[in-house]
Amino acid sequence: MSAETQKKAAAEFALKVVENDVKIGLGTGSTANFFITAAAEKVKREKLNTVFVPTSAASYALAQKHGLNLKNIEDVPFLDFTVDGADEIDPQFRMIKGGGGALHREKIVASSSRFVICICDDSKRVETLGKFPLPVEVSKFGVNPTAWKIERALQHLGYTEAKMRLRANAEGKPFVTESGNAIIDLALGKITDAERLEGILNNMPGVIEVGLFIGICGIVMLGTDKGVEELTRK
C-alpha cells in the first residue's frame, strides 16, 4: 500500500471526531489535506455545525474551497481537537514537524487543543527522531548570529556531525514562513536528548519555534498496510 493510501486511510479514520458542536484545528501538509477534504464531505453530508481553525494559508484555502465553517485562533482560543500530520513520530509520540514550514502556527493551534491527533503513514514512525532534518524557525533579523549560536550549542551537545541549512524556496531564495521568519533545518542524524535540545534552542534569542513537538500529541492514527492503527499515549 502506498504512503498516499495510508495517509488517506488515516485521515478518513480521524473523521470520527468531526461531530456537531466540536472545534477542530486543521494541520498543514498532504495528510492534513486528505482530512480537510474528507471532513468537508462529512460536514456537508451530515449537515454538521463543526468549526475549523486552519494552521496555514494553504489549509485555509482548501477548507474554504470546500465550504467548511472557518474561524481563526483569536476567535476560538480553545479547541477540542487538532488533526495534523508529522514528519517523524517516536514511541513517546514526540514529533518532528515543520517540513511544510507551518511549525509555528501548528504548535500554537495544537497546544490550544484538548486532544492532538497525529494522522500519518507508517514511514513516519521512527524509534529515534532525527533522520528528518529538524526545522527551527528563526527571526530574519540576525539570522547569521542565530545560526552561529545554534551551531555552537549543537557542538556543545555532542552533535559534531550536524549539518545546518537555511531553507530555500522553489526559486532558491530564502524561504519565508507565514509569520515572516526564516527556517534553519538541522540534520542531526539521531536526536538522543529531545527535551534538552528543545529547551536550549527555545531559549536562544532569535529562535521563534522549534519543530520538536513534545508532550503535545496524545493519539496517533497510523496508516499501515494492514489498516489504520489507533494508538494512545500512555
Q: Which residues are catalytic?
A: 106
Q: How many CA atoms lie within 13 A of 2 on its CB side?
A: 4
Nearest CA-CA partner of 225 in 121, 130, 126: 121
CA distance 13 to 107: 22
Q: Cβ 214 to ligand 5RP, closest distance in Å? A: 14
Nearer to ligand 5RP by C-beta: 30 or 37? Answer: 30
Tell me if 31 contacts ligand 5RP by CB under 6 A: yes
3-class state of residue 98 by DSSP: coil
Q: Cβ 97 to ligand 5RP, closest distance in Å? A: 3
Nearer to ligand 5RP by C-beta: 111 or 157? Answer: 111
| 122: Cβ contacts below 8 Å, ≥ 6 apart | 3, 6, 222, 223, 224, 225
Nearer to ligand 5RP by C-beta: 25 or 98? Answer: 98
CA distance 192 to 128: 7
Nearer to ligand 5RP by C-beta: 63 or 149? Answer: 63
| Number of residues engaging ligand 5RP in binding (CB under 6 A) | 17
**CA distances (Å), origin 191, targets 21, 112, 204:** 40, 26, 18
Tell me if 30 contacts ligand 5RP by CB under 6 A: yes
Member of 25, 27, 54, 130 binding ligand 5RP (CB under 6 A): 27
CA distance 111 to 81: 10
Q: Cβ 104 to ligand 5RP, closest distance in Å? A: 9
Q: Cβ 145 to ligand 5RP, closest distance in Å? A: 25
CB distance 137 to 103 below 8 Å: yes
Q: Which stretch binds ligand 5RP (CB under 6 A): 25-33, 73-81, 179-187, 196-204?
A: 25-33
| 43: Cβ contacts below 8 Å, ≥ 6 apart | 18, 50, 67, 68, 69
Binding mask 174-193 for ligand 5RP (x = CB under 6 A): --------------------
CA distance 223 to 27: 17
Binding mask 73-112 for ligand 5RP (x = CB under 6 A): -----------xxxx---------xxxxxxx--x------
Q: Cβ 220 to ligand 5RP, closest distance in Å? A: 13
Q: Degrees (nearest 5) of the Cα angle 113, 114, 120?
A: 70
Binding interface with ligand 5RP (CB under 6 A): 27-31, 84-87, 97-103, 106
